[in-house]
Amino acid sequence: MKVEPSGVVMIDICSIQTDKCVAKKPAPVTAVWTSPGRTQMNVCRPCLEEKIRAGEWEIQGARVEQRVDVAVYSKEQQLQLVVEVKKHPTSVVPKNWATKIRKNILVHSGIPNSPYFLLADVPNFIYLWKNREPMDYEKAPDYVISAKEILEKYLNQISSTDKVSEYYYLELVMASWLKELVKSKISPQENPALKWIFDSGLYEAIKSGSVVMESTVL
Ligand SMILES: [Zn+2]
């Protein structure tokens, strides 16, 4: 479905209310018109992005800036890793689930290609792809790693209060872990559970780099 953002921001409840919604209670939302029919819907920014990523909505005209959950840049400030946090509703994760999510995000979102893509289904699994040109959207993850052991410390350290959404909390957990990793406070060589970060080349790519939450990428 095609939608047209009006540019009008108001305080209202979001009409969409995805898992990432920030306007389940009155908060700033943007009015968009859906076509055909020009029906008005009021939608918060994360929900608008989710609808576009899922391929359900298509923006007419102007391109929307893309935000990623966490972006990691190299020392030279080149985008190296895009991290998306998604929760699988049950602990039994179907085969190909991660592959489908990545494909949807890359095909529909307009996020630029980065050398690495990481999908975090915390606290279950971390999926890592090393992206190659030409981009293979159907590619299964290069690494599937149990997230619990790696992230336990951060999950315990950061408190999840009801002030922040669950997704924001999980983004914080991922960003905290990555921040320590780029500062080389955790050495993959000395940590067998992190061997994949070293083997994939990710460690070298992001070492001494920077970690940005809710980063806008072009
Ligand atoms: Zn929303």
Q: Is the predicted pLDDT of residue 37 greater than 80, yes or no?
A: no
Distance 23 CA to ligand 1 centre (A): 5
| Nearest Cα to Cα of residue 93 among 101, 84, 81, 104 | 101
Residues 6+ apart with CB under 8 A from 102: 84, 117, 119, 127, 129, 137, 141
Distance 9 CA to ligand 1 centre (A): 13
At 211, is the pLDDT very low, low, confident or very high (cuts 50, 70, 90)? very high
Q: Is the predicted pLDDT of residue 89 greater than 80, yes or no?
A: no
Distance 22 CA to ligand 1 centre (A): 5
Q: What is the pLDDT of residue 62?
A: 52
SS3 of 123, please? coil
**pLDDT exceeding 90 applies to what percent of the chain?**
40
Q: Is the predicted pLDDT of residue 163 greater than 60, yes or no?
A: no
The answer to pTM > 0.75 is: no
Distance 20 CA to ligand 1 centre (A): 7
**pLDDT exceeding 70 applies to what percent of the chain?**
93
Interval 73-82 mean pLDDT: 94
Q: What are the sequence ranges of the domains in the chain? A: 2-64, 68-217
Distance 15 CA to ligand 1 centre (A): 7
The more confidently predicted of residues 202 and 63 is: 202
User: Under a CB-based contact definition with an 8 Å cutoff, are residues 174 and 83 in contact?
Assistant: yes
Distance 174 CA to ligand 1 centre (A): 22
Distance 46 CA to ligand 1 centre (A): 6
Q: What is the pLDDT of residue 162?
A: 56
Interval 161-183 mean pLDDT: 84
Q: What is the pLDDT of residue 196?
A: 93
Distance 97 CA to ligand 1 centre (A): 24
H/E stretch holding 166 reads helix 166-182
The more confidently predicted of residues 66 and 73 is: 73
**Omega of the bond leading into 112 within 30 degrees of 0 (cis):** no
Q: Is the predicted pLDDT of residue 147 greater than 80, yes or no?
A: yes
User: Under a CB-based contact definition with an 8 Å cutoff, are residues 135 and 102 in contact?
Assistant: no
Distance 24 CA to ligand 1 centre (A): 7
Q: Is the predicted pLDDT of residue 45 greater than 60, yes or no?
A: yes
Q: Is the predicted pLDDT of residue 218 greater than 60, yes or no?
A: no
Distance 42 CA to ligand 1 centre (A): 8
Three-state SS string over 48-117 comes to HHHHHHCCCCEECCCCCCEEEEEEEECCCCCEEEEEEECCCCCCCCCCCHHHHHHHHHHHHCCCCCCCEE
- Structure confidence by residue, pLDDT tens digits, 179-210: 999 998 777 678 888 999 999 999 999 999 99
Distance 30 CA to ligand 1 centre (A): 10
Distance 209 CA to ligand 1 centre (A): 32
Distance 201 CA to ligand 1 centre (A): 37
φ, ψ for residue 164 (rounded to 5)?
A: -105, 150
The more confidently predicted of residues 160 and 120 is: 120
